[in-house]
């Protein structure tokens, strides 16, 4: 079987070194990322990849989002450095990296749209990585629409990556999230909420060709199919201060139908039941193999190995396995292997 890992993370050398010069880099990047050589050291990355036969990656930057590292000028600089670096990695190592998804300075939406255009036309980017909020702002704000429009124009996917930190409390009486609830439970919520905003805002009706991959098997949506389906069919029944039934009338389809149109990946940290749930919801045509490497306890190979073990244990028809393992990625990212 051929494998294309659709969602994993790596920092090109020039961007990694530039980030280390930032004040506060040790807080967001250093403490987590500097302890994972596989995310910035190419030789370490290759050693990890060598553990798996017939295996390539689509690479994207790691956390935090560029817009969280500084103002518009800095994030725009970082986007160019990062995208140039990823494009170079793909050019120089086509046997390792099947493609890359570009990062954008989302706190500078006009510059982000221009960078997306540059990434597609000059660098050969295979998609865009966009985080689920922009320094706390929802993605369905009008200023971000041209970015999604650019992705649809070039028939390239948007990879939706969760972004949330401890500053977003779990209770109104507190000022921070405890016990890393913000990550374990907050990230799936964050992704699901962003998906809902794209649906109910009409973004997906306005851009019918837009393709969005929701990281981590579509987050909460598959498990909560009953709430997303029959539950949201009753939108407005629980709200008295505005008429939300008008939202349903504006949409061209049932809410559940839009959620079924997202793509999802198998990066569920080794959970067989989550994999089965997601496959049942999305089907083999919309699920892509992905590992989220190198954030496993082994700092590289663990989630790749665990995910492949789960997929191979499902006894799926060969055609479905090929779709999940590489054919869906080839089609979605426009690969020419």
What confidence score (pLDDT) does residue 222 get?
98
Q: Are strands 137-138 and 133-134 parallel, antiparallel or unpaired?
A: antiparallel
What confidence score (pLDDT) does residue 201 get?
97
What confidence score (pLDDT) does residue 306 get?
97
What confidence score (pLDDT) does residue 122 get?
98
Give the domain extent around 138: 3-333
Domain count, the chain: 1
**Distance (Å, whole) CA 171 – CA 316:** 43
What confidence score (pLDDT) does residue 31 get?
66
The pLDDT profile of the chain, 337 residues, written as one tens digit per residue, is 999 999 999 999 999 999 888 876 555 555 677 889 999 999 999 999 999 999 999 999 999 999 999 999 999 999 999 999 999 999 999 999 999 999 999 999 999 999 999 999 999 999 999 999 999 999 999 999 999 999 999 999 999 999 999 999 999 999 999 999 999 999 999 999 999 999 999 999 999 999 999 999 999 999 999 999 999 999 999 999 999 999 999 999 999 999 999 999 999 999 999 999 999 999 999 999 999 999 999 999 999 999 999 999 999 999 999 999 999 999 999 997 5
The answer for 164, left when phi > 0, alpha when psi is -120 to 50, beta otherwise, is beta
In the sheet that holds 55-60, the strands lie side by side as 3-9, 55-60, 97-100
Report yes or no: 83 and 48 within 8 Å, Cβ to Cβ: no
Cβ atoms within 10 Å of 196's Cβ, excluding its own: 18
What confidence score (pLDDT) does residue 92 get?
98
Residue 66's CATH number? 3.20.20.140
pTM of the model: 0.95
Report yes or no: 130 and 106 within 8 Å, Cβ to Cβ: yes
The answer for 162, left when phi > 0, alpha when psi is -120 to 50, beta otherwise, is beta
What confidence score (pLDDT) does residue 29 get?
56
């Amino acid at each position: 079987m051929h494998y294309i890992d659709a969602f994993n993370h790596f920092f090109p050398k020039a961007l990694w070194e530039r980030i280390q010069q930032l004040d506060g880099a040790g807080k967001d990047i250093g403490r987590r990322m500097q302890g994972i050589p596989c995310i910035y050291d190419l030789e370490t990355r290759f050693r990890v990849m060598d553990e798996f036969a017939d295996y390539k990656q689509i690479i994207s930057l790691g956390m935090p989002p560029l817009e969280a590292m500084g103002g518009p000028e800095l994030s725009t600089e970082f986007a160019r450095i990062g995208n140039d670096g990823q494009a170079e990695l793909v050019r120089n190592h086509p046997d390792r990296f099947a493609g890359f998804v570009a990062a954008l300075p989302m706190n500078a939406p006009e510059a982000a749209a221009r960078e997306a255009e540059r990434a597609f036309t000059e660098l050969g980017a295979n998609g865009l990585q966009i985080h689920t909020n922009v320094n706390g702002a929802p993605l369905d704000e009008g200023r971000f629409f041209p970015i999604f429009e650019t992705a649809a124009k070039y028939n390239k996917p948007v990879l939706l990556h969760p972004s949330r930190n401890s500053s977003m409390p779990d209770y109104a009486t507190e000022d921070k999230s405890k016990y890393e609830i913000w990550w374990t439970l907050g990230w799936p919520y964050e992704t699901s909420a962003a998906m809902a905003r794209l649906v109910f805002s009409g973004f997906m009706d306005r851009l019918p060709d837009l393709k969005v991959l929701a990281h981590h098997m579509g987050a909460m949506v598959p498990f909560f199919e009953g709430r997303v389906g029959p539950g949201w069919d009753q939108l407005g029944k629980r709200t008295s201060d505005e008429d939300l039934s008008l939202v349903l009338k504006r949409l061209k389809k049932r809410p559940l139908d839009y959620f079924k149109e997202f793509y999802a990946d198998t990066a569920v940290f080794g959970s067989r039941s989550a994999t089965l749930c997601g496959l049942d919801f999305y089907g083999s045509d919309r699920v892509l193999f992905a590992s989220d490497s190198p954030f496993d306890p082994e700092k590289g190979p663990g989630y790749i190995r665990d995910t492949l073990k789960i997929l191979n244990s499902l006894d799926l028809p060969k055609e479905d396995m090929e779709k999940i393992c590489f054919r869906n990625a080839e089609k979605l990212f426009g690969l020419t292997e």
